[in-house]
Homo-oligomer: A and B are copies of this chain.
């Protein structure tokens, strides 16, 4: 029998996808240069040159049977070791390759981690605004998402999290730098969060895992600090992707780090492996695994993102829009001048501006502006933003 739940999930286009496809249609009607598409989070800068250079070098060195052959399910030993050494060196927190499970991107890292840490009927706390797929992944793991709104400054609301914890709480997902708000959680707030979680663990006599979803870790501005959470909270599992830092989102390569501080870390690691196995993950793409030891720590040139961020923030603020100043990722979160952000995003379309209303991120009243585009495209779009502002009686 066709699984109707899966069918529904396959049919329901995500809001973001829908806007993107509207944009494609509109571009064919009036010309691509007249449509200002800020809907997708697709990196617009190239991977560091070493990525393609290393691929070619590996091919020239051969043999291609081992280059393209299976690795262990958890990853090639030298890749796992290189990631562990990089983390140890960068964060001063000792990790060995045994704690690293190489994955088919961050989404696979999340579904594997959730499959490992959630048992049917348990709850997973998500901090709104959040990446909409969290709900899909949590439900697939047998769990239930419990939304906790963030504070007005988009930092975690510690009191609200405390109240949301129940004996059924299995985990909390923390995403910093945040998609869609661009906020970076401060060290102080993370320490408060760790303290609340530790107390709850002691009180409930069970582990509450913190799943740190960190695909945007390296995309930060003005020297913002992204603290390494395993050194702050014991029971942390990090889900990482090289999609944004190395600009290769299509290649699907990332990892799960099971913190060695977790008392039952061997069991958690085995459960990650078991979950990945049952989801059909055999190994992460081998060629991408093999380039990693040579390119770890490199980051695509994010100067263009920073330039876009500054430009948008100053201009849109000057038009009278209220923005959340982003410290990381490549999203600007802008407050809708009317309560219904869907209405605002629809009116923006009249000005050929494609913005994503925030409802599907669990935080109504905002739009997300993806600024991983050419700076020229932003400059061309500014008059449209100004006219949109004026249409709401703002300065424009």
A305 to B163, CA, bound (A): 63
Specify which chain B residues have a CB less than 8 angstroms from the CB of A251 in the assembled complex. Answer: 68, 285-287
Q: Which one of B7, B107, B141 contacts A281 once the chains associate, using CB atoms below 8 Å?
A: B107
What is the minimal beta-carbon distance from A366 to any residue of chain B, in angstroms?
24
- Mark each residue of chain A from 234 to 247: 1 if its CB lies under 8 Å from any CB of chain B, else 0: 00000000000001
Q: Does A55 contact B (CB under 8 A)?
A: yes
CB nearest to A68 among chain B residues: B248
Interface centre among A111, A118, A122, A271 (most CB of B within 10 A): A271
Q: Which one of B170, B207, B250, B270 contacts A285 once the chains associate, using CB atoms below 8 Å?
A: B250
Specify which chain B residues have a CB less than 8 angstroms from the CB of A207 in the assembled complex. Answer: 1-2
Specify which chain B residues have a CB less than 8 angstroms from the CB of A8 in the assembled complex. Answer: 274
A275 to B47, CA, bound (A): 30
Interface centre among A119, A136, A252 (most CB of B within 10 A): A252
A56 to B7, CA, bound (A): 38
A2 with B271, Cβ < 8 A, contacts A136-B278, A287-B287 known: yes
Q: Does A393 contact B (CB under 8 A)?
A: no
Q: Does A9 contact B (CB under 8 A)?
A: yes
Specify which chain B residues have a CB less than 8 angstroms from the CB of A170 in the assembled complex. Answer: 1
A1-B117, A6-B274, A55-B59 known; 17 other A-B pairs, CB under 8 Å?
Answer: A1-B207, A2-B117, A3-B116, A3-B274, A7-B274, A9-B278, A10-B272, A10-B276, A11-B270, A47-B68, A56-B56, A69-B249, A70-B250, A107-B281, A110-B280, A250-B287, A251-B286
Sorted nearest first, the 4 A-B pairs with minimum C-beta distance are: A250-B286, A10-B274, A9-B274, A111-B280
CB nearest to A122 among chain B residues: B1
Specify which chain B residues have a CB less than 8 angstroms from the CB of A288 in the assembled complex. Answer: 285
A300 to B307, CA, bound (A): 49
Specify which chain B residues have a CB less than 8 angstroms from the CB of A117 in the assembled complex. Answer: 1-3
Contact A2 B283 (CB under 8 A): no
Interface centre among A8, A68, A133, A273 (most CB of B within 10 A): A68
Interface residues on chain A, number (Cβ under 8 Å): 83
Q: Does A261 contact B (CB under 8 A)?
A: no
Interface 9-residue window, one of A37-45, A177-185, A321-329 = A37-45
Identify which of residues 304-340 in chain A touch chain B, using a CB-to-CB cut-off of 8 Å: none
A116 with B68, Cβ < 8 A, contacts A7-B271, A270-B11, A287-B287 known: no
Contact B274 A115 (CB under 8 A): no
Contact B63 A104 (CB under 8 A): no
Q: Which one of B3, B108, B276 contacts A118 once the chains associate, using CB atoms below 8 Å?
A: B3
Contact A3 B59 (CB under 8 A): no
Q: Does A264 contact B (CB under 8 A)?
A: yes
CB nearest to A269 among chain B residues: B10
A2 with B264, Cβ < 8 A, contacts A68-B248, A280-B279 known: yes
Contact A206 B1 (CB under 8 A): yes
Identify which of residues 34-54 in chain A touch chain B, using a CB-to-CB cut-off of 8 Å: 42-47, 51-52
